[in-house]
Amino acid sequence: MTTRFIDTTAAIVGGVVAACTGIGDRPDSRGVPVGWIVRREPLPLWSDRG
């Protein structure tokens, strides 16, 4: 498996986890770990064009 497929798979999994759990800890659920958020790659500049 090449790196680009691993990166794509990781991005998809991260999106699914975030969509299902949200971020941060709340009394009723635990979201994406802070360590994951800190280590994420920045979005490309073109991604914030509306």
| pLDDT digit string, tens, across residues 8-44 | 888 888 888 888 888 777 777 778 777 877 888 887 8
DSSP, collapsed to helix, strand or coil, labels residue 12 as helix
pLDDT band at 4 (very low <50, low <70, confident <90, very high): low
CA–CA dist 44, 34 (Å, integer): 21
In order of 7, 24, 28, 35, 49, the CA distances from 11 in angstroms are 6, 18, 26, 15, 20
CA–CA dist 50, 33 (Å, integer): 29
pLDDT band at 50 (very low <50, low <70, confident <90, very high): low
Q: Which two tokens stand for residue 12?
A: 């998809």
pTM above the 0.75 mark? Answer: no
